[in-house]
Amino acid sequence: MEFSSNGSELNHHKVIIIGSGPAGLTAALYSGRANLNPLIFEGHQPGGQLTITTEVENYPGFEHGIQGPELMDIIRKQAYRFGAKSIFRNITKVDFSAKPFRLIDEEDKEYTADTVIVSTGASAKWLGLESEKVYMGYGVSSCATCDGFFFRGMKVVVVGGGDTAMEEANYLTRHASEVILIHRREEFRASKIMLDRAKANPKIKFILNTVVEEIMGKTEENKKSVTGVRIKNINTGKISEIECSGFFTAIGHEPNSKIFKGILDMDENGYLITKKTTTETNIEGVFACGDVQDNYYRQAVTAAGTGCMSAIDAERYLEKVEYENQKNA
């Protein structure tokens, strides 16, 4: 059986990598250099979360920072130099109950692999309001760098109290006339430097101890738009409304691990559990790296680091299997 665009390669691979953020692409680079010809399933957001960010200032090696998409492009090209290949589709189903492992993509194509590296990352969380869904893409967003431009000269709301919220709020002041940052507590999870930067920005106004109850909007000539939010002060119970044209959630992320439920061990939040100091999962030959197994550091550089680890773990596992097969032959 053959696969993919050029149709010249068999569908069995020594290493299949699911996910293409810093973890997946670094795993591809390392397993490529180990002559394992990895196949990367990049999904629909090739490059992962860094492709929806702007300046990355903390990835070592770039003294003056680098744009997120550019960084991912460089790592991908670096991996391709050593024989890695990509398919820009999602894996929708896996069967890890027997070897070789089986993977099915969204076009129902089947692949088999001796090892699988899971680097599916994490996605933005939503508040869970019905109105969020109604106005998604019509004023509701979780990506300031993607959508900030649409709110030039307008007032926008950002929800959250972590680094992402500070970063999004700061970024939005480039376009918006005013940014209202709503946070449910008095204290912030954000690092001091990010918080201080946001506090020093005259365009950002903070509303604390407050939750968003509803996003309000209208439909005119078949076009939906956000008009404001209804908020509640959790100390006083007072309900009020704020006018705004844009609404950005920045309340953290959840791991993209649904397809592994019941197959790979995960914690109560869905983060894959790996063995201490390695990237091994509960299934021998399946490894996990990056944000899908890390809810603590969540940095591009740590993701890349665990991506490297998982490639080395996969390589050593394959060597061990080969040695045992030869011994038993």
Q: Which residues are annotated as catalytic?
A: 143, 146-147
* Min dist. Cβ of residue 99 to ligand NDP (A): 36
For residue 197, state whether it binds ligand NDP (rule: CB under 6 A). Answer: no
Please state, in angstroms and as integers, the Cα–Cα distance from residue 86 to each residue in 4, 146, 267, following that order. Answer: 9, 24, 30
* Min dist. Cβ of residue 210 to ligand NDP (A): 9
Bridge partner residues of 18 (DSSP): 41, 118
Residue window 141-160: x/- pattern of binding to ligand NDP, with contact defined by CB under 6 A: ------------------xx
For residue 52, state whether it binds ligand NDP (rule: CB under 6 A). Answer: no
Contact with ligand NDP (CB under 6 A): which of 298, 301, 302, 317? 298
For residue 184, state whether it binds ligand NDP (rule: CB under 6 A). Answer: yes
For residue 306, state whether it binds ligand NDP (rule: CB under 6 A). Answer: no
Nearer to ligand NDP, 192 or 327 (CB): 192
C-alpha torsion sign, points 44, 46, 52, 58: positive
Stretch near ligand NDP under the rule CB under 6 A, chosen from 62-70, 139-147, 249-257, 273-281:
249-257
The residue number whose beta carbon is nearest to ligand NDP equals: 162
Stretch near ligand NDP under the rule CB under 6 A, chosen from 2-10, 138-146, 149-157, 250-258:
250-258
For residue 291, state whether it binds ligand NDP (rule: CB under 6 A). Answer: no
Identity of residue 287: F
* Min dist. Cβ of residue 249 to ligand NDP (A): 8
Stretch near ligand NDP under the rule CB under 6 A, chosen from 100-108, 113-121, 182-190, 263-271:
182-190
Q: Which of residues 159-178 bind ligand NDP (CB under 6 A)?
A: 159-165, 167
Nearer to ligand NDP, 127 or 283 (CB): 127
For residue 269, state whether it binds ligand NDP (rule: CB under 6 A). Answer: no
Could you tell me how many residues of this chain bind ligand NDP (CB under 6 A)? 18
Nearer to ligand NDP, 118 or 182 (CB): 182
Decide if 140 contacts 251 (C-beta within 8 A). Answer: no
Residue window 205-244: x/- pattern of binding to ligand NDP, with contact defined by CB under 6 A: ----------------------------------------
For residue 198, state whether it binds ligand NDP (rule: CB under 6 A). Answer: no
Burial status of residue 126 (CB atoms within 10 A of its CB: 0-12, 13-18, 19 or more): middle
**Angle at the Cα of 16 from the Cα atoms of 15 and 21, rounded to 5 degrees:** 120
Contact with ligand NDP (CB under 6 A): which of 118, 157, 251, 266? 251
Tokens at residue 152, please? 């030039």
Encode burial over 135-147: b for 16+ CB neighbours within 10 A, e otherwise. beebbbbbbbbeb
Nearer to ligand NDP, 89 or 189 (CB): 189
Decide if 77 contacts 83 (C-beta within 8 A). Answer: no
Tokens at residue 35, please? 């002559």
* Chain positions contacting ligand NDP, by CB under 6 A: 58, 127, 159-165, 167, 184-185, 189, 191, 251-253, 298
